A and B are shown apart, each in its own frame.
Chain A
Amino acid sequence: MAEITYREALKEGLREEMQRDERVFIMGEDVGLNWGGAFKVTKGLAEEFGEARVRDTPISENTIAGAAVGAAITGLIPVVEIMFGDLITLSMDQVCNQAAKMHYMFGGQTSVPLVLRSVFGGGKNLASHHSQSLESWFMHTPGLKIAVPAFASDVKGLIKTAIRDPDPVMFFEHKLVYDKKEEVPDEDYTIPFGQAKVRREGADVTVWGTFFMLHKALEVAEELEKEGISVEVIDPRTLAPLDTKTLIESVKKTGRLVLVTEETKTGATTAEIAAIVQEEAFDWLDAPIKRVNAPDTPVPFSPPLEQYFIPNNKRIARAIRDIV
């Protein structure tokens, strides 16, 4: 067990899976020798495994995703990197019409064991085309599995599960968590999909969130502890499958729920979670469910604008205080 960054943990997972199974290969724009990925996740892997297995591609997102589909149905396990989550818009046909539907519309004749890695989120002043959080789009597409690791100790186990899964997995990361450190097991370990993790136990209110917002929620929980408010923080770790059991149990205990993500509010994952909880735990709720999201605007560039856009500790704390 060593303390390493999220980036290092993710790379370790990729490396171990490539060593374990020669069918696994990486493909994407600038993932190889010259760059090692825009966020350096694959740096060094091309040197270790060769340029055929850590393959640079032209800027052709739709064909990168489609080639992953074709490779996956004929005996390989592609791990594709789309440089920014915003650019999956260019791969949507292959992701949502092909990868997600093939097993179903071909009556189970073939499965599509691919992993598509990409990165969401703002905080780096990269403006409207490099900062979005679009995970709910994929939650609305049956046939996809969605991992949303926010911590170093989870990302290694989840990437291994993703690679070993027979279905297409969208593996979403966040720009601001790559440098976050945690103790990560050195050995081979997997984390099953559909198992949320209670990151902090509490009695008064449940906070459910994803990605960088979880890190903020934990800071807020720490602050509020001093005021005598006990906050439970839940990380779903995967959105599909979604662990509703852990969440519902928590809500039944605390009676209050705040949902925090960096997505724009309308149609976000938080809307779905709120609907599920009111269906399954309405009688246990002592207050309305609160949502903390970004406003319904594109992600702005200028620092004061972006800071306004992204939910901050103050907004999370206010939402909690409002219902406690």
Chain B
Amino acid sequence: MAVDKKTLKELYARTLKVRRFEEKVWDLFGENIVPGTLHLYLGQEAVAAGVTVALEKTDWIQSTHRGHGHVIAKGADMNAALAELLGKSTGSCKGKGGSMHITQFDAGVLGATGVVASGLPIAVGAALSCQMRGTKDVVACFFGDGASNNGTFGESLNMSAIWKLPLIWVVENNLYAMGTPIKMTCPSATIAQRADGYCIPNVVVDGNNAQEVYEATVEAVKRARSGEGPTLIECQTYRMRGHSRFDPAKYRPEDEAKHWLSEERDAVRIIREIAIKQGALTETEAEKIEAKITKDVEKASEFAKKSEFPKPEETLDDVFAGVL
């Protein structure tokens, strides 16, 4: 599949944007101004970028506990996203959600959830809604290798298949559920092949290559929009950091980590080289894009830092949409 130059450039820009955003979050964490825990998306940027570039603005994504990258890639406002991570009232969730619930509904994000595998049923409902309301919108549901061992995986894949829902199941297989390697919890060689049991077309791609992820998603979106039902895409990737804020990830074998964390496997570098080689990007353009992103992220950081914390009594707001 030929990917046009404009798209390649966008894939590079979006992969880089997620990278720079997460690096900034890591820095702010270093300044000790990010409350709670963090599940950084560093290393997996190509998955969020590849999937979201293949979607329209009106399409939906369902995120996870490792959700910053999904939300930023889908086009969320970075100011509101960073402010949320700092617990500020200008945050997209008014400081009620934080890292694990970072959500911007108007950017097409259904939600980010702290319960592993809980997003899959919600994605089923959103896709059913797209189908029943007669829209052509599709839903991409991100989840990890760990989630594929939860009961909702079977329930939700099954339901999406029997109703031919416009759904793209995106497994981000980063090889570890916290510290537990996938080979200890999954008997098959791939997670993708589990979808065979539900008659769902599936494919394994290099999750560090945004172009590969994009190409697979384009096929899946085409199938979903034309009423042919769901697709599962397994994106094999790797965390650059540990599971959460204080995890040094010592449980990962040295040679494995060395391979995945090498420059050759770096998601930003891979898509940058592809784009330049295909003539979609010059070194100068790449630098210009990077300068713009760096500036935007810096501005978002300033905004978040300057923003006020919510008033304590706002704890009581927003329990219900209607009156109680």
Interface residues of A, Cβ cutoff 8 Å to B = 25, 52-53, 57-58, 60, 62-76, 78, 93-94, 97-98, 102-113, 142-143, 145, 165-167, 194, 240-241
Contacts and interface: CB of A to CB of B under 8 A. Distances in A.
Nearest to A165: B322
Given A60-B159, A104-B96, A109-B104, A70 B321 contact: no
A113 B321 CA distance: 9
A98 B122 contact: yes
B52 interface: no
Interface stretch (B111-119, B245-253, B275-283): B111-119
A22 to B, nearest CB: 9
A74 B130 contact: yes
B193 interface: no
B118 A105 contact: no
A76 B132 contact: yes
A70 to B, nearest CB: 2
Given A107-B92, A110-B105, A240-B324, A74 B121 contact: no
Contacts, number: 153
A202 B319 CA distance: 37
Interface stretch (B15-23, B148-156, B301-309): B148-156
Given A63-B155, A104-B318, 7 more contacts: A69-B121, A70-B123, A71-B126, A76-B129, A93-B115, A108-B321, A165-B322
Interface centre among B101, B162, B324 (most CB of A within 10 A): B324
Nearest to B113: A98
B180 to A, nearest CB: 21
Nearest to B310: A107
B91 A70 contact: no
B125 A78 contact: yes
B113 A63 contact: no
A57 B111 CA distance: 24
B120 interface: yes
A70 B122 contact: yes
Contact of B94 (A62, A108, A166): A108
28 contacts: A52-B132, A53-B132, A60-B159, A62-B151, A62-B152, A62-B155, A63-B121, A65-B121, A66-B122, A66-B125, A67-B125, A70-B62, A70-B121, A70-B122, A71-B128, A73-B122, A94-B121, A94-B122, A102-B111, A104-B318, A106-B92, A107-B318, A108-B317, A109-B103, A110-B105, A110-B111, A145-B324, A240-B324
A289 to B, nearest CB: 25
Interface centre among A64, A105, A165, A240 (most CB of B within 10 A): A105
B125 A104 contact: no
A242 to B, nearest CB: 9
A282 B246 CA distance: 51
Contacts of A107: 91-97, 318
Interface centre among B118, B127, B128 (most CB of A within 10 A): B128
A70 B125 contact: yes
Contact of B121 (A66, A75, A166): A66
B311 interface: no
Nearest to B322: A166
Given A107-B91, A107-B95, A167 B159 contact: no
B72 interface: no
Given A62-B155, A111-B321, A105 B93 contact: yes
Interface in B127-153: 127-130, 132-133, 151-152
Nearest to A111: B321
Interface centre among B91, B92, B152, B322 (most CB of A within 10 A): B322
A65 to B, nearest CB: 7
A107 B112 CA distance: 13
A167 B321 contact: yes
A107 B101 CA distance: 10
Given A71-B129, A103-B319, A194-B324, A63 B93 contact: no
Contacts of A78: 125
A287 to B, nearest CB: 32
B317 to A, nearest CB: 8
A70 B324 contact: no
- Which 7 A-B residue pairings sit nearest by Cβ, starting from the closest? A66-B121, A70-B125, A111-B321, A107-B94, A67-B125, A107-B93, A60-B155
B60 interface: yes
B118 A72 contact: no
A310 to B, nearest CB: 31
Contacts of A104: 96, 318-319
B124 A58 contact: no
A70 B115 contact: no
B127 A70 contact: yes
A142 B155 contact: no
Contacts of A105: 93, 96-97, 101
Nearest to A164: B322
